[in-house]
A = this chain, B = another copy of it.
Amino acid sequence: MLNFQFYNPARIIFGRGEEENVGKYIADYGVKKVLLHYGKNSIKKTGLYDRIVKSLEENNIEFIELGGVCPNPVLSLVRKGIEICVNENVDFILAVGGGSVIDSAKAISVGAKTDEDIWEFFMDKKKVIYETVPIGTVLTIAATGSESSTSTVITNEENLFKRSISSSKYIPKFSILNPELTFTLPAYQTACGCSDILSHLFERYFTQIENVDFTDRLLEAAMKTIIINASAAIEKPKDYNVRAEIMWVGTLAHNGLLNTGRIGDWASHHIEHELSALYNLTHGAGLSIVTPAWMKYVYKENPDKFIQLAHRVFDIDFAYNEKEKTIVSMIEKLESWYKSLGLPTRLCEVGIDDSRFSEMAEKCLVARGLTGNFKKLNKDDICNIYKLAL
């Protein structure tokens, strides 16, 4: 186990109806003016927007709106948000939506407190973030874990680079998680969210650091829960307890806890980011394509880790003389699970051919050199993984 620091001061407010108290929670921070940041029109259709505004007004909190965040949130809207925050003296950002809205809010919170260009923080990981505008969130999709994570992912539309930064400075002060808000989420988006959550668990699970059995077991507990409940949510989208389990796993999958003492892999995420940046594919659907291909390509680096996963999470009996078969069965089981949720597992299913593999692999390695830690991957490796996904 490696030395580590774990610090996550996000207050999680979990349960039915809590979004109606959002104004009260913001008021605790002595806020004068809020930027209300959200996506397209879904929060207006569901009535969530009205409940949020009512709560802000009841608590005499002034606010300015910035809607329009799209999946794979873009730099231009982040710049617009920064401008508003600076010009209007915004001292709190309320993000209402899924990971895209929260990621956009995080980037705004950094940009509003620096004279430097915000994109430079994404291209140069060594730049230090000193100050941010505090954030609160009302989560509407269980997926990215951004509601209490240190990360934000933004796409620069000018060059289609999709890049992340990581800092504890913009971890939300509070995040309101009401599973009921995800009842109306379409099956495909539910599935994409669960695919993203499972990937966050895989990325941490596949480490080459030894003696991290406790976090292995916690990760396995989370994986089992997401695998069972994702299927249940497709069948019963309005089952509170199913939605609640998914939502809580989604947060814990990415709040830093399950990465303690170990170094995650993250190659699948990086390889997928190039797909979703170039083809505007939903992240979770990209991951259901990339992950099995990545597994097939790398499992020989540490077959026994895959056997443990097969046995403990996918309920495949351990058989000493059938290790390879066990791993293949597990990947097949994973692919079947993705398919049962309506997710693609091959690039051809989403109309992507091999014409831009080389370009994507090159972009994936810009400012990185290699990607992945379970197996360090170069350009050829990445192209081979794309090929396995064809």
Contacting pair A14 B18 (CB below 8 A): no
Cβ-based interface call for A15 (8 A): yes
Bound-complex Cα distance A249 to B211 (A): 14
Cβ-based interface call for A214 (8 A): yes
Contacting pair A5 B12 (CB below 8 A): yes
**Chain A 228-246 residues near chain B, CB threshold 8 A:** 228, 240-241, 244-245
Bound-complex Cα distance A364 to B245 (A): 35
- Which residues of chain B are within 8 angstroms of A4 by Cβ–Cβ distance? 12, 14-15
Contacting pair B221 A248 (CB below 8 A): no
Q: How far is the CB of A177 from chain B (nearest CB, A)?
A: 10
Given contacts A214-B225, A249-B214, contact A6 B12 (CB under 8 A): yes
Bound-complex Cα distance A257 to B260 (A): 15
- Which residues of chain B are within 8 angstroms of A11 by Cβ–Cβ distance? 5-7
Bound-complex Cα distance A330 to B31 (A): 54
- Which residues of chain B are within 8 angstroms of A257 by Cβ–Cβ distance? 252, 257
Residue of B nearest to A5 (CB): B13
Q: How far is the CB of A314 from chain B (nearest CB, A)?
A: 15
User: How would residues 1 to 35 of chain A score, 1 for a CB under 8 Å from any chain B CB and 0 otherwise?
Assistant: 11111111111111110100000000000000000
Cβ-based interface call for A213 (8 A): yes
- Which residues of chain B are within 8 angstroms of A245 by Cβ–Cβ distance? 1, 211, 213-214
Contacting pair A18 B6 (CB below 8 A): no
- Which residues of chain B are within 8 angstroms of A249 by Cβ–Cβ distance? 214
Cβ-based interface call for A154 (8 A): no
Cβ-based interface call for A224 (8 A): yes
Cβ-based interface call for A220 (8 A): yes
Residue of B nearest to A14 (CB): B4
- Which residues of chain B are within 8 angstroms of A252 by Cβ–Cβ distance? 257
Q: In the complex, which of the residues B9, B14, B221 contacts A5, with contact meaning CB atoms closer than 8 Å? A: B14
Q: Which residues of A come within 8 Å of B, CB atoms?
A: 1-16, 18, 210-211, 213-214, 217-218, 220-222, 224-225, 228, 240-241, 244-245, 248-249, 252, 257, 260-261
